Amino acid sequence: MPDKLILLMHESWNDLDRAISGLAPKEATRRHDGGSSIAWTVGHVTNLVDSWINARLQGLPSHPVISDPMIRTGGGGDAHNWPAILAGMSEVREASKRFLDSKPEPDLDRTIPYDGAIDYLHPIGLSLRYALMRVAAHHFVHAGEIVTIRYLMGHPAEDFKDWGQALV
């Protein structure tokens, strides 16, 4: 069984999947009250998985859709191709799962040099453990944002009563 931290990240993906379930393309690509579109947000959180777990820690090439600079932090908040974002999310996750669910399990304390936007990581590097925590937290925050936007659009807000069951 994978480490609980890996399971926590998978749980965050499940929350995001629930938050976007049944979303029409027009709803996904429309910006809301000056904020980003849901499609952009999904690409944005997936970019962290792609850039940290897949590209940096595995050495894989960045995903062509998910690594688009317009989807990264600081991008404009627009994303117009919902099917491409969903396909990219699935491909990025699959590449990550192959690595994280492998036998033997990856070393969570493995640390690589880091030269990205988070300054406090420069002297200490990026560990897989930190990457998993940050990815999970990032997904949880934005899944909640998406549920709230959908609620304001008239969709019901689902109560995830089984949340965390996979972690026990």
3-state helix/strand/coil string of 38-94: HHHHHHHHHHHHHHHHHHHHCCCCCCCCCCCCCCCCCCCCCCCCHHHHHHHHHHHHH
Q: Write 59-65 long-range contacts (CB < 8 A, 24+).
A: 60/95, 63/88, 63/91, 63/92, 64/88
The pTM for the full model equals 0.92
For 11-46, the pLDDT digits (tens) are 999 999 999 999 999 999 999 888 899 999 999 999
Q: What is the DSSP code (8-state) at residue 112?
A: E
Domain ranges of the chain: 4-156
- In angstroms, rounded to a whole number, what is the distance separating the alpha carbons of residues 26 and 35? 15
Which two three-digit tokens encode residue 39?
């499609």
Rounded mean pLDDT for each run of 10 residues along the chain, 168 residues in total = 89 95 95 92 97 98 94 75 97 98 94 96 98 98 94 82 70
Contact of 117 with 73, CB cutoff 8 Å: yes
- Level-2 CATH architecture, domain 4-156: Up-down Bundle (1.20)
In this structure, is the dihedral angle defined by the CA atoms of residues 51, 86, 155 and 15, taken in order, positive or negative?
Answer: negative
H or E element, residue 111: strand 111-112
